[in-house]
Chains A and B, each alone.
Chain A
Amino acid sequence: MKTGFKFYATLALAVICFITLPSFFSGKNAKPRFKFPYKQAGLTERQAAAHLLNRFTYGATPGQIDEVVKMGLEKWFQQQLDGKLPDDSLNGRLAGYDALNLTNKQVLDTYPRPPIILRMAIKDGYIDKDSVNKQTDKKMYRDKLEAYMNKMGFKPERDLYRQFISQKILRAAYSNNQLHEVLTDFWFNHFNVAFVKNDCAQFIPAYERDVIRPNVTGKFETLLLATAKSPAMLMYLDNFSSTKSNDPKPGKSRKTYAAAKNTAQPGADIMMSDMEAMQQADAKNQPQKPRQGLNENYAREVMELHTMGVDGGYTQNDVTQAARVLTGWTVYPLSDVGYTNARKKALEKLGEERMEKQGYVHDGDFLFAANRHDNGEKVVLGKKFPANGGYEEGVTLLSMLAHHPSTAKFISRKIAVRFVNDNPPQSLIDKMAQTFSTQDGDIAKVLITMVTSPEFWSKDALREKTKSPFELAMSAVRTLHADIQEPYQLYSWINKMGQRMYYYQAPTGFPDRGQYWINTGSLLSRMNFGLALASQRVPGVKVDLAALNNHREPESTEQALLVYSKLIMPERNLDETVKHLTPLLNTPDLGQKVAKAASKANANNTMTMTGNKDDVLASMNDEKPAKKASVNTNKNNNQMLAQVVGIIVGSPEFQRR
């Protein structure tokens, strides 16, 4: 009877779900339940589609506005939230990168850090210990090291990072699931980690792939917990090292990590990473434990930056108490490469079963080391965590932070800053925070609340965001339909424009406001990028400007300007841009003159502008029409076109989205 009831109840529930869910959310062909209020804001459907594409993709591709209008704006958005469009073309481009699917352990085993390789090479007798710091014979030393790496099947670390950065660029440029890429970027930046911290660097590819990307539209709590347990974050904000305090007698120095690091081996300073030093200290000092203690770094930033915000209402004492709650949250020792990993052996000896009994938690690359956890009672934000809470009290703490009212506001505001404008209206933030709180931190629903609010479509939002350098580069590549053969070349430009992706040292991530991106130096780099891209001077990135206009050659510079401005920045009012550029560009035979000047100049020299405008125009007007003009028309036209397009990409209008 009892089981029967359960069965029917479950069945009934299943039926209800079956009936309601698809209509509530998107079934394949069902219409989304929400409607975008763009008409009320005075926008046409095409203008609204352009705005959507500006905010939720890395830029519209040619013809994409038409596609979105045809499909219906709401349906397009729902499809982007689902993020399940096939990505064959992208996958084809990614296929050549063999490091993208490696686990953390495989990464450590395949791309060991240079100090580890060096130590192994010395141990295996490939390299003489004394030769390491000698300045002579550097080549021989490098050759030996390389031979050793080949023998062991090791690959250089920088290849891993290059592949990783390349995939980021390719995904942004070519993925059909653009919103998921944009959100991956957003959440990565929110939960920032950086290559600059050595011990964290190698975990970053898996961090983005496994921790961030799968969770970008789900529950905020899931994302928070996943980052908290990830090796990248544990290393980046030091929590891996935080343990209960033994409260040592002052002045009575016991052996520490630092000491272990300095005595472990000659030249140890360059040869051992922090984590290894700690583990070796662990190993060396057994059974006498190394002096250990609390590290507040993660506990503070998780409240200040990840959840509540700096004014969210916590105190220094809350930080310290939260740090105690999170003691013992660390990385499971992963690599077999290098030295004998005493910690790993000790854990393996203990065995999973006994580990579990003693309160350890081994979950993927995460380890809750029960022996390092502070078992005392704690109070965080007024909530009591009774003694002996173990791993679970950390989960409770993070869940509490994820659901805190300050978090709802803080996260909603940050999302609005990313997608609406640098100073989003409080009315909008309140609505989003309301959804965040009532819908259990459901990110997709918060986004829907945002896009269905009039504030999203208001004049204060349209084109009010300044593209970051990455967004600028990607939108240029997408709108020009460029073929990226060497993604890393674009990275150099993005760097130069002021966004060294994955190297932002502070846990804040890049500030998301125009004022940060636009300054004297970076602005010039943006203009130069436009010129370089359009004139095929970004190696490995091909653009076919003629094809963009179906090989219909513009009859004049003025026409080129008109046609290409519309292609590159559809649905914008470009009267001003065109008006100002026309007299400048519309010198008779501009193309020929530019080309002629170019052929005269020393090709190896990076020229900067010189002379005043009258000189330039005068010298151009002085030139007699070239006799070979007919032969060169094509080439000249191409140069003219490149110049026009370069200026459009570098123009102020294109810096906005």
Chain B
Amino acid sequence: MTSRRGFLKAGGLALFGIGVGGFPTFLARAAESDKIISPYKKKKILVCIFQRGAMDGLMAVTPFTDNYLRAARPNLFISAAKAGKGTPLIDLDGRFGLHPAMSAFEPMFREKRLAIVHGIGSPNKTRSHFDAQDYMESGTPFNKGTSSGWLNRAVGLMGHDGATPFQAVSLTSSMPRSFYGDNPAVAISNLQDFAIQMRGNPKGANMAARSFEDLYDQTSSDLLKQTGKESFDAIKMLQKADVKRYKPANDVVYPSSALGNSLKQIAQLIKMDVGVEVAFAESGGWDTHFNQGAETGIFARNVNDLSSSIMAFWNDMEAYQDDITVMTMTEFGRTVRQNGTGGTDHGRASCNFILGNDVNGGLVHGNIQPLSVENLEDGRDLAVTTDFRSVFSEVADKHLKLSNDKVLFPDWDGSKIGVMRS
């Protein structure tokens, strides 16, 4: 077994220096463990993006030949015909059209790296944002009591004892439900803030950091103790990183949106080789009850941000693309019919996007019937024909090699639909 020193050297971790608390505890754990997964070894990485508020899947990827939809949405329907006024949909396969503001995605679809699943959703019929998000993130659509999130369980299944604190990292200001659980996870909204800071007084900062680390280590509150430990472990890895002057590859410019910033920082962490395996980011503003717009407007701005942020990340990560899969998710879809105020209300199924070199791309997966009233769920919504667990578990299985669905999605025994290449 490698000695600590040797391990450090080989890992290039000497670069990080050793933090105030002495030896980072995750490394100590790693050094004591037989199952060393060193941070520098190439790993598969899953990046999940939660679109909070429920994206209108029928506007993102429109079954444009469906006359029922055209009729139900006089002001929202975008045609694929190039002759009409306005920008047409991007015709993907003669039946489905991508929203014109998502043109950044088109090349990926044509190159068969981007897959779309339509009619995806939860078997639980709740139309509450908060319940539906909870169910999707816990991975148990009929059990509110599940305390852990599915991505946290995924991290557990990887079995990397002594993995780094950045194994599961969320670029959000609070820990997402998907990451709740026994396995370590980190939430950071801004890498630049990640240090104990005392301006002009490094010794004082050092002293303070040591005091804090000690205090949090002995507190009786598990929450504060565990989080404190993760914080200090993470600081030790980040302290030498120059987060301010990050230069993305390929002259990529990230959108200056929340999602763009999150994905940019995920890219930084991945390139720093700190051991990221599951990353999480959020995108908001999808609850378009009012004036959602068509070719332009609120929804168009949202999907534009989503697709350009993801593509900026993808191009920035050129050297890592074989190891990365990006998957979007949203709690439910929206009503087939537009509501009285130029928007859509809470519905059932939506669609999602999966990007990666091992994705069965260039296809709109799933099963969508013509949108006549008798085919709709409760007579109003796009029916859920693909359980989200089917897709999430296939991605986890094929990309992260996690095949234990009993742990990831305990109550589920459905089949997979081939969104990943086998």
Contact digits for B122-166, partner A, Cβ 8 Å, 1 yes 0 no: 000111111100000000000000000000000000000000010
Interface size counted on chain A using CB atoms at 8 A: 94
Partner of A593, one of B127, B203, B210, B285: B203
Contact B205 A520 (CB under 8 A): no
Nearest CB on A from B131, distance (A): 5
B65 interface hit (Cβ, 8 Å): no
Known: A258-B291, A521-B194, A652-B228. Is A610-B200 also a contact (CB below 8 A)? no
The main secondary structure of chain B at its interface with chain A is loop
Partner of A519, one of B72, B126, B129, B187: B187
Contact A594 B201 (CB under 8 A): yes
Binds B, one of A17-25, A410-418, A598-606: A598-606
Which of chain B's residues have a CB closer than 8 A to the CB of A601? Answer: 200-202
A215 interface hit (Cβ, 8 Å): no
Known: A300-B127, A506-B129. Is A537-B19 also a contact (CB below 8 A)? no
Which of chain B's residues have a CB closer than 8 A to the CB of A520? Answer: 165, 186-188, 227, 230-231, 234
Q: Name the interface residues of B271-306: CB closer than 8 Å to any CB of A.
A: 284-285, 289-291, 293-294, 296-297
B250 interface hit (Cβ, 8 Å): no
Interface centre among A251, A523, A608 (most CB of B within 10 A): A608
A516 interface hit (Cβ, 8 Å): yes
Nearest CB on A from B244, distance (A): 11
Contact digits for B9-26, partner A, Cβ 8 Å, 1 yes 0 no: 000000001111110000
Which of chain B's residues have a CB closer than 8 A to the CB of A338? Answer: none
B175 interface hit (Cβ, 8 Å): yes
Q: How far apart are the CA atoms of A11 and B221 in the complex, in Å?
A: 59
Which of chain A's residues have a CB closer than 8 A to the CB of B34? Answer: none
Contact B204 A597 (CB under 8 A): yes
Interface size counted on chain B using CB atoms at 8 A: 83
A183 interface hit (Cβ, 8 Å): no
Partner of B208, one of A525, A537, A619, A647: A647
Known: A523-B228, A652-B225. Is A496-B193 also a contact (CB below 8 A)? yes
B198 interface hit (Cβ, 8 Å): yes
Of all chain B residues, which has the CB nearest A612? B18
Contact B208 A252 (CB under 8 A): no
Of all chain B residues, which has the CB nearest A514? B223
Q: How far apart are the CA atoms of A606 and B234 in the complex, in Å?
A: 19
Of all chain B residues, which has the CB nearest A422? B223
Q: Name the interface residues of B6-46: CB closer than 8 Å to any CB of A.
A: 17-22
Which of chain A's residues have a CB closer than 8 A to the CB of B74? Answer: 248, 250-253, 256
Nearest CB on B from A635, distance (A): 13
Partner of A310, one of B126, B293, B294: B126
Which of chain B's residues have a CB closer than 8 A to the CB of A521? Answer: 173, 186-190, 193-194, 231
Contact B197 A261 (CB under 8 A): no
Known: A250-B72, A521-B231, A581-B211. 4 other contacts (CB 8 A): A238-B289, A291-B340, A580-B214, A611-B206
Closest 9 CB pairs of A and B: A293-B340, A250-B71, A597-B203, A608-B195, A253-B74, A652-B219, A258-B342, A607-B202, A519-B187
Query: Using a CB–CB distance below 8 Å, which chain B residues touch chain A?
Result: 17-22, 52-53, 70-72, 74-75, 125-131, 165, 173-175, 180, 186-190, 193-212, 214-216, 218-219, 221, 223-225, 227-228, 230-231, 234-235, 239, 284-285, 289-291, 293-294, 296-297, 339-343, 345-346, 378
Query: Using a CB–CB distance below 8 Å, which chain A residues touch chain B?
Result: 238, 241-243, 245, 248, 250-253, 256-259, 261-262, 269, 274, 277-278, 291-297, 300, 304, 310, 316, 319, 466, 496, 498, 500, 505-506, 508, 514-525, 527-528, 531-532, 535, 537, 576-577, 580-581, 584-585, 590, 593-594, 597-598, 601-613, 616, 619-620, 639, 643, 646-647, 650-653, 655-656
